[in-house]
Amino acid sequence: MNTIIRTFLPLAMAGVLSGCGGSDATTASATAPSPPATAASYSVGGTVSGLTGGSLTLANNGADPIVIGADGAFKFDSEVASGGHYDVTVSAEPTDLSCKVISGSGSNVTAAITSIAVQCSVPQIDQFSLPFDAAGIVVDSADNLFITAGSTVGLYEKAAGATGLLSVATGVSAPAGLGIDSGNNLYISELDNGNVYELSSGVTTQLAPTTALHADNITADAAGDVFVVGYGYNTVYKIAAGSSSASLVTEAIADPVDVTVDLSGNLFVVSVSGTLYEIPVGTSTPVVFPPTAHLQISEAVVGGDGTIYVAAGLTDNNITIYKIPPGSSNPTLVSLGTASLGFPGGMAIDSSGHLFITDSQATNLIEVVSP
């Protein structure tokens, strides 16, 4: 009987254990966690046209460069995460072509992007010879240009479509920087003593008191507010429209040399070291403008559509022009074709979006048609 019991028990236990083991495996299989879902991402691409020779380099969000050698479809190697953004810019282009990105930026991506168009064409560059080394430049609502001369001293007007220049009487001994408001009133900084003047309907009036502003360069917004930078004094001042006094905006920018303003009232100030700062409207704290943080900026101007144009480079004959369209965070090249640019004296944008650049090192005025 003991033998029977000894034989029976192991068999019975084996059956019980076998049943338990089978039950556990089934339960584990039923409750095993699912592998994590792969995050969705989408490709970014489009088509290139007009690339008749050479190669074109595009970037997305300032990275992931792709080199293109012919017309046709393109697609970046890296995809954009669902809900992410894309910003396609031109990093390099053939020297004889100007390539523009159309519909190149967007956010909240939920599908593959295939609609980006890159159109290349021979740039239309007009170069005018001037009888002086030009400095400041602005354009009025009728697309007439106003240019200050350097060594010969004076203010000149180049009427829209004209090739000649007209001397403009100002009563200012050494006009330097220029600004203009929506009423076509001109604002002039005086090189010798830092005074600021308004020229309206042929009448010049000194904006007082301004002798302490040490005005080096100047701009005006649409409302007639005037902004003045003082090189060597680290100052940016504002003279409100209709005011007889100036208020300090900031003393936090070392040696500011250029200033421009967009339609929203945001200021952009260039320092002599090549840094472009933005002072958002309503604030007095300058911040480095992120899209140009890696560049050395010598001049800047904002177009009517919000596009910011900058001249990059601090040495003669080594200047590159870039633009940063609204919503973009990366500069894209602006081709000057075969035009020669020594060093920019000033930049302006007309109502058609044409870019004008004066050359302070040569007697040239460069017009870039539809940059």
Q: What is the rounded average pLDDT of the residues 124-142?
A: 89
> How distant, in Å, are the alpha carbons of 131, 133, 157, 230 from that of 136?
15, 10, 12, 15
Q: What is the pLDDT at residue 335? A: 86
Bridge partners of 180?
A: 186
**What does the pLDDT read at residue 212?**
65
pLDDT tens digit string along 306-333? 899 999 999 988 899 999 988 777 888 8
> What DSSP assignment string belongs to 32-93?
PPPPPPPPPEE-EEEEEE---SS-EEEEETTEEEEEE-SSEEEE-SS-EETT--EEEEEEE-
State how far the alpha carbon of 294 is from the alpha carbons of 124, 129, 246, 275, in Å. 28, 33, 33, 9
How far CA 195 is from CA of 141, 151, 157, 205, 368, in Å, comes to 25, 19, 21, 11, 32
pLDDT at 94: 86
Cα(156)–Cα(137) distance, integer angstroms: 10
- Domain positions in the chain are 41-121, 125-368
Write out pLDDT tens, residues 49-58: 999 999 999 9
* Residue 319 and residue 358 in contact, taking contact as beta carbons nearer than 8 Å: no
Q: What is the DSSP letter of 292?
A: G
Mean pLDDT of the chain: 86
Alpha carbons 264 and 146: distance in angstroms, whole number: 24
Q: Is the alpha carbon torsion for 311, 313, 316, 321 positive or negative? A: negative
232: region left, alpha or beta (phi > 0 left; psi from -120 to 50 alpha): left
Q: What is the pLDDT of residues 156-189, one digit of tens each?
A: 999 988 888 899 988 888 888 899 999 999 999 8
Element containing residue 8 per DSSP (H, E): helix 2-31
Among 159, 62, 139, CA closest to 302: 139
The pLDDT value given to residue 76: 97
Q: What is the pLDDT of residue 13?
A: 43
For residue 66, what pLDDT is reported?
Answer: 96
**Using alpha carbons only, how large is the chain's radius of gyration in Å?**
31
Domain 125-368 falls in which CATH fold?
A: Neuraminidase (2.120.10)
d(CA 359, CA 136): 10
Phi, psi dihedral angles at 21 (to 5 degrees): -60, -45
Span 11-59, pLDDT tens digits: 444 444 444 444 454 444 556 676 666 789 999 999 999 999 999 999 9
**Mean pLDDT across 96-117:** 92
